Amino acid sequence: MMHSIPTILAVSLTALGFTARAHSDKDYQERPVHGMSNPKSTVITASGDITRKVEMFQAALGDPLNNDEPYQQPAGRREINWDGVPTNLTDTPHFPGDFFNSFELADPPARKRGAAFFTDEGGTFEVSGDDFAHVDPSYSQEFHAFSKRKTFTVSDGNTLEVRFQAVGAPTPALVKGFGVVFSDVDKEGSARIELFGNDGLELGTLTAPRRADKQGLSFVGVVFDTPIITSARITSGEAALGPGVKDVSSGGTKDLVVMDDFIYGETRAME
């Protein structure tokens, strides 16, 4: 089951006690966590051409990019960009939530990246190679990938939980940072990440900025100076995609949003 999210959590990190310090770049701020002398956090947001900010976020998490290294690594980060998902799991609402950390033999073999996905209702996920135009043709004009060419959504909802685990094992784990690329955020607050620490400790909420250009990409992420995040609840838009369901920019009533890259620190197994 996903964590129960109290209403008070649906606010900005500043309102939860994160105090921003002045910085020449308003989208790159170092923030101490309320009630703790340590750790500090760095929040990075971007819209429009997000490449530079994503690179800043990757640098803050550190090198190397470990991805499918089968065991916990001493440093670096992991990324999920969906582009390596095989054809038989693309453009179908049957993408397994444990694909990126399955503990069983699988065909095709799962990627070991220490992240598993869940929904409250036992819902399903979908990776798309056509920005979900096969669901509704209008989506080809709404959504665009950041790392070409596949994107991701909850096929029957708009929320999911990411739980971090030891790579290739069911052991709960910690990461020091997590960020997501969103596509087509038309409304402030319709795409956000709620962060949790050990024992369900509420760490705060990150809100993705509205789209700023025709490409329509947005990014938000946070890096702490020590591993502290055990899970994240992602809200991606105001409704699920579906045939005939239009985005607010195409005459619909809800802001529809999909996701691309997930970027996070190397997982650290909890003792």
Q: Which of 1, 167, 160 has the alpha carbon at shortest distance from 77?
A: 167
Q: How far is CA 179 from the centre of its chain?
A: 5
**pLDDT tier, 22 (very low <50, low <70, confident <90, very high otherwise):** very low
Q: How far is CA 56 from the centre of its chain?
A: 16
Given a cut of 70, is residue 118 above it in pLDDT? yes
Given a cut of 90, is residue 6 above it in pLDDT? no
* Sign, Cα dihedral of 64, 68, 69, 74: positive
- The predicted structure's pLDDT at residue 102: 76
Residue-wise pLDDT tens digits, 168-211: 888 999 999 999 999 999 999 999 999 999 989 999 999 999 99
Lowest-pLDDT range of 71-75, 79-83, 89-93, 227-231: 71-75
Mean pLDDT calculated for residue range 4-25: 34
Residue-wise pLDDT tens digits, 30-70: 444 433 345 689 999 999 999 999 999 999 999 999 988 88
90, 127 Cβ separation under 8 angstroms? yes
Total-model pTM: 0.86
Instruction: List C-alpha distances in Å: 257 to 76, 236, 241, 254.
Output: 29, 5, 9, 10
DSSP state at residue 104: S
**pLDDT tier, 104 (very low <50, low <70, confident <90, very high otherwise):** low
Instruction: List C-alpha distances in Å: 23 to 17, 30, 37, 224.
Output: 18, 8, 20, 17
Give first-to-last CA distance, the chain, whole Å. 22
Given a cut of 90, is residue 215 above it in pLDDT? yes
Instruction: List C-alpha distances in Å: 88 to 80, 93, 104, 156, 204.
Output: 18, 11, 19, 19, 37
Given a cut of 70, is residue 14 above it in pLDDT? no
Mean pLDDT calculated for residue range 110-129: 87
Residue 141 structure tokens: 């004009």
Given a cut of 80, is residue 167 above it in pLDDT? yes
- Distance from C-alpha of 233 to C-alpha of 256, rounded to nearest angstrom: 17
Lowest-pLDDT range of 98-112, 113-127, 152-166: 98-112
Residue-wise pLDDT tens digits, 140-149: 999 999 998 9
Residue 12 structure tokens: 């900005």
Mean pLDDT calculated for residue range 152-164: 96
DSSP output for 204-255 = EEEEPPPP-SSS-EEEEEEEESS--B-EEEEEEBSS---TT--BGGGT-SB-
